[in-house]
Every structure is written in structure tokens, then in C-alpha cells.
Structure 1
Amino acid sequence: MRKLATTLVAALGIALVPGVAAGSAPVPGATGVPGPGWNAAWAASPHAPTEFLGPNWGVTGFDNHTVRQVVRISDGGAALRIRLSNAYGTSPLVVTGATVARTAQGAAVRPGTVRHLSFRGHRSVTVPVGGEVAGDLAPLPVAALGQVTVTLYLAGPTGPATGHAFASATSWRASGDHRADVAADAFTEAAQSWFYLAAVDVVDFVPRREVVVAFGDSITDGVGSTVDADNRYPDELAERLGGRRGVVNAGIGGNRVLNDSACFGEKATTRFGRDALGQPDVRTVILLEGINDIGFSQFPIECTSPNPEVTADQVIAGYRELIGQARARGVRMVGATLLPFKGAAYYTEAGEAVRDQVNDWIRTSGEFDAVVDFDRAMADPADPDALRPAYDSGDRLHPNDAGYRAMAEAVDLSVL
């Protein structure tokens, strides 16, 4: 099927075709023959820039900089496109040029694989404030579970940059225009965040509607996993599926179901339509969120204001709103129980009681299409309110690489 798809790309001249807005609408073929749709293969939920974790390029933005970002895609295809977000920008974003290539090592890319990207036939694009644009189809065959490098050249001042702070991956920056460089020499600055890049989609000649979106907070985002190792639980789930379908990560560290945050993104009930239901060919969402709603009410910091104390009924009401949004779009919802957090910085016995009530509802209500019991899979047999020590990254809240692998193994693949 992949070989046939590659042949069709060449035969139809699809490399010349303008892109379309995010979604699964067909791409028109150059010959007038209806073209393919898209499968989401990688994503990072955008939010406003923050320095909560320390200095971040996104707060001031870029000016005559080239930004190079490496991502691992969950599903392969004969061609791809990127999506760029200016959701939280304060002025229109001008991207002077962009490329995509197969990754070599670090900031280097493989010779002969660099493709200049276009946007409706032009190499430059302006993304409006609050907006997102999809690039044109780029004729670069990519393998499932392979890495691609996306490079953006930003010639003028951008202002604050929409991005994703908890990348658990290294991005690089160079002064001047180095979008087509194969070598890494010019990229002398590094950060562990993503900037502007919201998604990578692969061409889909036979629409399958089988993409899985992992939606949640820092545990879905992969905080505590090894940087640049792609060991977040959605990555591990994609590996279990063997690249047979797209799995994308819609986690935001610190995110909550019921309240917005200046540092950790809009609340789940607001961003769900964009970050989960807006992914091309989405079929199933795994929802793992709510522990921050419970914990932050006992741990007031600037980034969590407002931080009201929440009840189990309030969290459940938020879940029901998300389930309703998904059902209205014909998307299946898998509810995930909240992980143990005894010993974490914001743990309290009152919070534990709320977690227990929420988890009991997830398991027994029958309102989700299926349930994955991360709580029981990750609990310490000697103390079920705490993470199993072998799965703890050290803060009693976030799993380590082994823990994220155990989470992926707890998912019954048949429910996807």
C-alpha cells in the first residue's frame, strides 16, 4: 500500500497542489482527479509562551532566526504537510520560509531529503493572530515511527511565540537563514520547547478514520520521560500499534479540566474541539485529566490562578461535557483513571478522596465507550495511593520511562 501510494503521488503531480485548512477534507489533484485526505501523525497542543520553567525563547519571540525542530511521527505516508499555529500571538506571524527533511542526528538532516515547503503555492506565509495554516503537500515519503525535522526561517520580529513548553525534546536555533542547511553547525542554541509547529499530517489515500488522540496534562505530555527518547506514553502506545495508525499527543503540562491558566493553557473543555476533535481522521480520544484540578486547589501559585477547590461532581461534569462534544462529532471516548499521587507536592488526604470518587465514577458509570485503568496499573502494591517506585520519575506524580511504557501496555488495543 505504501509503495502504491508513493507511485500515485508521482503520477498525480500532487507536489504542485495547494494545501487546505486543518481537517480531513480532500486535497484536489493537479489533474482534476480527487486527491487524498490526511491522517494526523504528530501534534503538540499550542499554548501561550511561559517562563514558568525558566527562560524561554517564546516570550520575546524571534527575529532573523532559523528554528529547527525534530518530531517522531506515529504513522507513515507517501507525503506530508505541516500545520503552524499563531493561536496566542499578538501580531500576524510571517514565516519567510520552511523546510522538512528526514532527521540525521541532532540538528543535522539527511542529505538529499530537504524539501522546501509551500503554502498555497508560496514559500512564505502569514498566519493571522489566533489562526492556524496548513502547508501544501510535500513529496517526502516517511516511515511510521520515523523522525522528521521541520525548519522555520523567521526573518522579522515575531513577538511572543505560540508554542509548547514541555516538549521533552530538543529544538535548535540559528541566526540568519539556515532553513536548507544539512549540517548542524549553525544551530548553536538549544531549548526543550516547540515553537509554532502544531502538527504533522501524512497523506491518506484510503481514509480510515482511526487516529487516536491522547488528551490530558503533563502525564500525557511526558514530563519525567527521557529527553529526545520519545518515551511518552502516547509514543509507547504508537510503538505497540506498530505504526499501523496515527497516535497524537494532546497533553499540556499543568492543564486542567475546569480552569484556564496563564502558563498551562486553556481548560480542557475549551481546547478539546481544537486539540482533539480537530485532528484529521480522529476516531478515539483517551482522556486522562483532572489531577491538577484536584491538586492545584491546595497548591496556589500564580500560574494556577484561579484555583478553586473542586469536588468530584464538578470534575465529572467536565468529563460529561467533553463526552458530549465527542459524541456530537462521532468520536469515541476512552476514560482513563487518575494515577496515584501520594507524596506529590500537592497531595492531600482531601484530594485523595476526590480522586477516589472520580476514579470510581470512571470505572462504573458506563458513560465512556471504554475505560483504561491507569490507577491500578501504576499503583504501588504496598500502598495503592502511591505510584509504584519502579515507575516513579522522582516526584511521586510523573512516571519515568518504565512507567510510561506500563501505561501504554495497560491500554487494551481492541478499544481503539
Structure 2
Amino acid sequence: MKTLITRPARGLHGSLTVPGDKSISHRSLMIGAISHGMTTIQHFLPAADCLSTLTALQQVGVQITRQATTVQVQGRGLTGLIAPKKALQMGNAGTATRLLMGLLAGQAFDSTLIGDASLSQRPMARVSEPLQTMGAELTLTDGHLPVTIHGRPLQGTHYDMTVASAQVKSALILAALQAKTPSTIVEQLPTRDHTERLLNAFGAKITTAVDHRTITVQPQPQLQGQTVTVPGDLSSAAFFITAASIVPGSKITLKRVGLNPTRTGLLDVLARMGGKIEIERLQNPGEPLGNLTVTAAKLQPIDLTAADIPAVIDELPLVALLAATADGVSHISGAGELRVKETDRISTICTELRKLGVAITAQPDGFIIDGRQPWRLQTTQMDSHGDHRIGMMVAIAALRLTTSLQLAQATAINISYPTFFEDLRQLLPATEVLA
């Protein structure tokens, strides 16, 4: 049980460099593994999910060393991975699991992926079915983990995606690299493009049409190891962006945060709500990044639909929290994907915010939130439900309160942000009493 920090008298202040981007950390490891030569990853995120990826790659023969947030990967090329001696334990790492399904589908051996109780409930047929159009053979357990991947030669495909998912897209791209002929993948809506950017930096030939949805992958590239500096994770920065926006008197600066346009949905949402955020863009040869200065603001309600969701999918718990402080009624729809995250996030967001007295109503694919209603605390006993993003959302919500809250299963936050509470303390005045 974790005692949460409550409302700081003078708000949040100071500057912070958030940990490396989780999505890019995962992908840098995998792409380095199938490249030739050494890949050096700087500002790597050493969270539980990323370490699951690192360990799994070591089990298929990749030499990887890590010193704090610097990782070196000795690549084995597209065909150099070897059969693991036991099942690959993926823990709670959904991104790693889905991407590895694509990466291992074209290898010359069988492999099995297993996960924890939460990951074992998440849908995997959405990955296996499109991979099968390339000739891949995967055996699921009632549509879930464990999954056994029977590695075999793959053919190129033309696939129209049925879900807006960067994980599914990336699995297909990693498989398509190993195919005999080119592949075309058509997205419903544009999703984060870290896989395409990174692969092209390593020497792949992946092109995106002017519609930003049609992706062509040329097979059998000779990938070469690179030095990758991982930008700060915008999904991690999002918690402090939200905190500074809703805690009166706050003004903070977040340094060297990734600003990939497929990931900046929360910044767009906050601007539409009347938030105060200044962006200083920095020169960077890879992913765009910059410094963000956020000041507390009086927020207005917002309506989000399916077209808005892919760019803000991971931040929707925070959008709900922002809406809970806005001067009006907000509507979020088209977010059914939240039902199949680490938890059913529509359910868990509503459960935890209602404990705080927030007027939130669940919909099949989203929420209705009346931010005009004053919060009337129902209980001090909160719960992450084993979901890292729900746990951090609750911790940020606690900053609006003066009554102390207790958070059960707080260790779930380590999945993506082990230093979350330490970083939050950096933004508190030295005179604040910390739990």
C-alpha cells in the first residue's frame, strides 16, 4: 500500500527530464538484434516491460549488455537468431509480445511466448490472423497467450488492417522484412510510426503514401547497427503535464521530450481545452523532440471521437482526469480499444475516479464526464488494478486533494516508470511534507 502525495500548497514547480520512451526502447532492442554490427541505445528505459524484451532477445541468441540507461546490442542479422531453450516469459509487456510474434514468425525455429495473468487475458488473434496472410503459423490458446510461433518462410502480403493499432502494424512490418516479396499494409487511421522511422534509420526501405495510411515494406534489407538516443517518453511526461495543468499555482518544464506527431495527441487535446503549454523544439537527427513548459489553467470540456483516439490512446486515463476538472461536460467515444489494455480501462478509470467523487459515466467505447461537479471523496482506498497507467493517474488525481489516499498495487507503476514517485517529488517545494 502506497501513501500518495496530496495537494502541494504552492503547486508544482521546477524542471524534469523524464525517462526514455518505452515504445522506442522496445523497438531499438529488436531492430538492433536483427541488424549487423553493434547498436548502442542511450537513455534506454530500464522498466520491467523493456527488460522483458531485453531478456527475451538474449534467449534467442542476441548478445546484450546494459549499464544503467546505456545498452549495447550485438546484432545477428535477419536470419541469425537461434531457438530458445525455454518459453520466453514476457511478463506484462504487450508491445514486446505482439512485435516478437511478427519478428519470430519468419525465423527457422519454433518459440513459445508466455506472460503474466494480465497479459494472458489480452487478445492476440488480432496479430496472428494478419500474420497468417503471409504464411505464418502461430498456435494461440483460445486467442490468448501462451502462443507458439512455428517459424517458416514468409510471403509478402497486402493487408487492410481491421484495428487502429501500432503494435499490430509493427508486427506485420517486422514479419514483412523477412518475406520473399514486398508487402503493403493499409491502416484504418494513422498510428505511431516509431517502427518505420527506426527501421529506415537502420537501412530498411519502408515508404508511407501521402494518405499517411498505406505503408510499403521492401523485404530482406541489410540492416546496420546504429547509435540511438531515445527521447523522453511523452506518455510518461503526460502525467506531469496533466498534474501541472490541474494543480493550482503550478508551472513546470519537461526537458527533451519526444514530439513525434503521431504521439502528441495529449498536447493537442490540452490546447483545445484551454491548457497553457509552451513548446521549444530542439534540433535532433532522429525523432523530433523539445522542451515543454506547462502552467496551471482553467480548462474547458472536450469532445473526442474515433478519429482522435489513436494519437492519445495511452493518455486517455489522463484525458478523463483533465475532463474531471473542466468547466462543462466532456464526451469521449471511439475508444473501445481501452477495453483490452492491461485492464478494461474504461471500467477501471470509472471505478477509481468515482471513488474521488467525479461525475463519470461509462459508455461502451468511452465516457461522459461532468467536470462541473465538485469532487466528494467516497473512500481513501484506491487501487491500480495492476495497471501502471491507472496507478499513475490516481497518484496525479491525489494532488488535487488534501485528504491522504492509499494506493493498492502501486508496484504496477514499475512496469513503465520505476522512478515515477521520485520524479514527482522533484517538482514539489522543499518544504512540502512527503509521504
TM tier, smaller: under 0.3
User: TM-score normalized by structure 2?
Assistant: 0.25
User: TM-score normalized by structure 1?
Assistant: 0.25
